[in-house]
Amino acid sequence: MMNITLKQLRYFEALTRHGHFGRAADTCAISQPALSVQIKELEETLGIVLFERSARHVRLTGFGQEFAERARVILRSVDELGDLARVAQDRMVGRLRIGVIPTVAPYLLPTLIQHLNAKHEGLDVHIRETLTQRLITELLDGRLDTAIVALPVSEPGLTETALFEEKFVLVRQAEDADAPVPSPEGMREMKLLLLEEGHCFRDQALSFCSLRPVLPRDGLDGSSLSTLVQMVGAGIGVTIIPEMAVPVETRSAPVSLARFPGEEPGRTIGMVWRKTSPLAPHLQNIAEVVRDAAEALADRHKDILPA
């Protein structure tokens, strides 16, 4: 019988994810030589090489890729055994790994953490902020328990729960405050500043304006909503941001805000988690806390938003 340990599988998964011994070792909180020894012992036990090693990178071999798929399933199952024990308790305790998209995290998290601490004492919340596709991948791999994203994600292996709706707001230079609000068609003729590719909010804004994602946009993309709003204040163009971001991003920029006439663009924010997760009953309760936090945030800032 092969003596493969869970520790070795976790080290293997970390090295697979980072492709670098040093970063993987940091993630596992061990020294790089110790990680190398464990990976070498795993390869010797299997009798086959798992990684191609070079001076700068580490890549999986063909067999290593197959082994990685099986290892992820095993590690996820082991984690779910621990989750089963947590579900048996009356309330959610221990570690909760939440992923959040960048156009929600900076605005909702402060209020959300306060609500979670108040309603779920003993909960150890770990936050991961990144793009939707990465969150979905990490969720399916078992590296996250749940994620707060824009719906729908249409992933068969995930449960989706809608939390709240929010509208999008037009951000223009301060001197344009009294100018007519352009229609979606009119937006096509303007310098529309958007988040860089990979952000779901970018795709939503493009869809509202009926713009093709493949249009060349040199100098019109930013990495954050904060950058976009500051660019508008500098007179470079206009942008669209979600209501949640307004109080934070517009307080130090010379910009004006406006609602779109007619059917306003917007998005649905929700929570997703694996359909097989034993934590599902508790995650439904966490979803209620997120909804309450979003409502409290909206009430607090209702006077700041444009009418």
Over residues 6-18, the pLDDT tens digits come to 899 889 888 988 8
Write out the CATH class of domain 85-163+269-301: alpha beta
Could you tell me the two tokens for 228?
Answer: 């976009």
Q: State the CATH architecture for 165-266.
A: 3-Layer(aba) Sandwich (3.40)
pLDDT at 148: 98
* pLDDT in the model for residue 303: 79
Compute CA 177 distance to the chain's CA centroid, rounded to the nearest angstrom: 33
Please list the ranges in the chain whose pLDDT falls under 70: 1, 84-92, 211-219
Q: What is the pLDDT of residue 219?
A: 52
pLDDT recorded at residue 218: 54
**Residue boundaries of the structural domains of the chain:** 6-81, 85-163+269-301, 165-266
Predicted pLDDT of residue 262: 82
Confidence at residue 185, expressed as pLDDT on a 0 to 100 scale? 78
CA–CA separation, 209 and 70 (whole Å):
44
Residues 6+ apart with CB under 8 A from 247: 107, 301, 304
Confidence (pLDDT) at 182: 86
Amino acid at 95: R
Instruction: Determine the pLDDT at residue 249.
Output: 93
Instruction: Specify the pLDDT at position 72.
Output: 86
- The answer to whether domain 85-163+269-301 and domain 165-266 are alike in fold is yes
**Residues in CB range of 56: below 8 A, 6 or more apart:** none
Is residue 163 within 8 A of residue 269, CB to CB? The reply is: yes
- The per-residue pLDDT for 153 is 93
Question: Which residue, 286, 283, 282, is CA-closest to 273?
Answer: 283
Element (H, E) at 233: helix 225-233
Cα 1 from Cα 65, distance rounded (Å): 22
The label of the residue with tokens 């529309």 reads 192
pLDDT score for 87: 65
**Residue whose C-alpha is closest to residue 69's, from 109, 21, 128, 12:** 12
pTM assigned to the model: 0.77
Q: Which of the following CATH numbers is that of domain 6-81: 3.30.1360.70, 3.40.50.150, 1.10.10.10, 2.40.128.110?
A: 1.10.10.10
Query: What size, in residues, is the chain?
Result: 307
pLDDT given for residue 149 in this prediction? 97
